[in-house]
Amino acid sequence: MSVADHALLAVRVQPRAKRTEVVGEREGVVVIRVAAPPVDGKANAALCRFVATRAGVPRSAVSVARGEGARDKLLRVEGVSAPTLRAALLG
């Protein structure tokens, strides 16, 4: 799923959790709980911040490529390969 200088990651988001954490993987999709509510893009912002921190990239390197208003999203992460990103989140 990586293309040159970025990685695409399929995630399922569970907002309003007690804490932000990676739950695991289901059918190739990484499941992440975020503490933020799904209001005014707060859950998306929290998700991008969390993924950036875990991947060791700047917050601006993570964006929602598809699924802005849905639980199932496709994230684009600049500056990291897909295997490295998956290892950072699931490893």
Domain map of the chain by residue range? 2-90
CB half-sphere exposure, 24, CA atoms < 13 A: 2
Query: From CA 26, how far away is CA 22, in angstroms rounded?
Result: 12
Q: Which amino acid is at 52?
A: A
The DSSP 8-state label assigned to residue 86 in this structure reads H
The per-residue pLDDT for 91 is: 86
The per-residue pLDDT for 4 is: 61
Instruction: Say which CATH class 2-90 falls into.
Output: alpha beta
pTM of the predicted model, to two decimals? 0.93
Q: Which residues pair with 6 in a beta bridge?
A: 3, 78
Query: From CA 83, how far away is CA 66, in angstroms rounded?
Result: 20
Confidence of residue 82 (pLDDT cuts 50, 70, 90): very high
Q: What is the per-residue pLDDT across 14-63, written as a single tens digit (0 to 9) for each? A: 999 999 999 999 999 999 999 999 999 999 999 999 999 999 999 999 99
Is residue 49 within 8 A of residue 59, CB to CB? The reply is yes
Instruction: With a cut of 90, say whether residue 2 has pLDDT above it.
Output: no
